[in-house]
Amino acid sequence: MHSLSYNKTKISIGDLAVSQFDALLQSARYKDVKKVIITDENVFDLWMEYFITTYEGLAEAEIIQLPAGEDNKVLEICAHIWNALSEYEINRNDLIINIGGGVITDMGGFIAGTYKRGLNFINIPTTLLSQVDASMGGKTGIDLGAHKNQIGLFNDPEYVFIDPHLLSTLAQPEKLSGFAEMLKHGLISSRKHWDDLKRISLDSLPTNFDELILQSVSIKKEIVLKDPMEANLRKLLNFGHTVGHAIEGFYLSLNTPIPHGFAIAWGMLAEAHLSLQKNLLSQVEFDEINTFIRGVYAPLHINQEHFAMLLQLMKNDKKNRDGNINFTLLKRIGEGLIDCGVTDNELNEALLVTLNSPV
Ligand code: GLY
């Protein structure tokens, strides 16, 4: 079992059954409070019986089961959850337990932060994406139309319990989606992590996978600890996300959503090319990233006629300042650089080289 913490959040990585989770539910603070589990229909079918029958403290929990998928991370669903909390007479000393992927931990954290001005919450991430990224760091929120995470607040969970066993039911695309965020952690901060990740196969998760999760979470934790509100250093974590969020928004607007990490993987490739154009990243290292990403992630169906929409989405990105699109680029594999200005022409060139696929 690995433990780490940042701000008020304690994170444990390892088998949930031998973690502090059970003791926490039985603690004086939580024994007698109402507990509400927020989850989605997929996680409910796969895991809820395990949770309810294994942890006595959950036997009486109210369960709010939501439809699965990013297109449900919206205000209408929040209203449904707030109404349910109200119906269950939930108060500020009660506890919300989010069990699910990034949609559930993002939206559940937002719900916990806004209902009655905030109550404590725990995240139990069940996807790789939420284990290495979405479940910790404090950002919570929902989408607004094609704009990802446009409405939200910084709100740290009290605990995050990361149990790699819960990944056993994940389909390959979901593993690949989370893997993209792990690759990002390597690219912006640790050549060793990138090299370690390049060596593994996700077909069956390696036995040391919890060590790799630990490496990823530790990189994110160090960054978030130094700059929780994203004034500077935390922007490193946005590598791949300026183009990536536009790709994701583009597919969402077509009602054909793609996994977050696929958009981020291709976004990282486009932004690695920008880094090359800016003479930051060497050709050799760009080629290494290019070969790896193209070898792992299926090509997108985006071509030149979609670039104007991608650009429009990037210009509306909430990370922008003074009308400029703000990029995090790479100096080398293992070192990112924040606040890089990029012209529309440079961006078009990067998209053309990395994303354009024949119609
Ligand atoms: N909750 C995700 C983050 O703060 O990055």
* pLDDT tens for each residue of 85-132: 999 999 999 999 999 999 999 999 999 999 999 999 999 999 999 999
Distance CA 113, CA 243 (A): 29
Q: Residue 87: phi, psi to the nearest 5?
A: -60, -40
Task: Decide which of 254 and 216 is more confident.
Answer: 216
Whole-number average pLDDT of the chain? 94
Percent of the chain scored above 70 by pLDDT?
Answer: 98
Q: Which two tokens stand for residue 253?
A: 């607007």
Element of type H or E holding 11: strand 9-13
CA of 134 to the centre of ligand 1 (A): 5
Q: Is 134 in the pocket of ligand 1 (CB under 6 A)?
A: yes
CA of 6 to the centre of ligand 1 (A): 12
Element of type H or E holding 328: strand 326-332
CA of 302 to the centre of ligand 1 (A): 28
Percent of the chain scored above 90 by pLDDT?
Answer: 86
Q: pLDDT digit string (tens) for 150-195?
A: 899 999 999 999 999 999 999 999 999 999 999 999 999 999 999 9
CA of 255 to the centre of ligand 1 (A): 25
Transcribe 55-70 into DSSP letters: -GGGTT-EEEEE--SG
Element of type H or E holding 191: helix 191-199
Q: Residue 7: phi, psi to the nearest 5?
A: 40, -125
Query: Predicted confidence band at 356 (pLDDT cuts at 50, 70, 90)?
Result: confident
Query: Predicted confidence band at 213 (pLDDT cuts at 50, 70, 90)?
Result: very high
End-to-end CA distance of the chain: 49
Which atom in ligand 1 lies closest to the alpha carbon of residue 154? 4
146 pLDDT exceeds 90? Answer: no
Q: Is 139 in the pocket of ligand 1 (CB under 6 A)?
A: yes
62 pLDDT exceeds 60? Answer: yes
Q: Is 108 in the pocket of ligand 1 (CB under 6 A)?
A: no
pLDDT of res. 357: 75
Distance CA 85, CA 90 (A): 5
Rounded (5°) CA angle 111-114-118: 100
pLDDT of res. 120: 97
Distance CA 335, CA 339 (A): 14
Would you say 24 and 30 are in contact if contact means Cβ atoms under 8 Å apart?
yes
Q: Is 138 in the pocket of ligand 1 (CB under 6 A)?
A: yes
CA of 105 to the centre of ligand 1 (A): 9
Q: pLDDT digit string (tens) for 37-49?
A: 999 999 999 999 9
Transcribe 278-290 into DSSP letters: TT-S-HHHHHHHH
Distance CA 174, CA 68 (A): 13
pLDDT of res. 193: 98
Whose CA is closest to 106, among 168, 68, 149? 149
Q: Which of 140, 185, 223, 260 to mutate to test the pocket of ligand 1 (most atoms within 8 A of CB)?
A: 140
Of 146-155, 206-215, 224-233, 266-275, the range with the lowest mean pLDDT is: 146-155
41: left (phi > 0), else alpha (psi -120 to 50), else beta?
A: alpha
Whose CA is closest to 183, among 212, 211, 224? 212
Q: Is 137 in the pocket of ligand 1 (CB under 6 A)?
A: yes
pLDDT of res. 324: 74
pTM: 0.93
Q: Average of pLDDT values for 324-339?
A: 95
The residues that bridge with 37 in the sheet, in sequence order, are 63, 97
Q: Average of pLDDT values for 250-255?
A: 87
Rounded (5°) CA angle 165-169-170: 100
Distance CA 112, CA 121 (A): 6
Distance CA 162, CA 108 (A): 16
pLDDT of res. 30: 96
Nearest CA to ligand 1 atom 5: 137
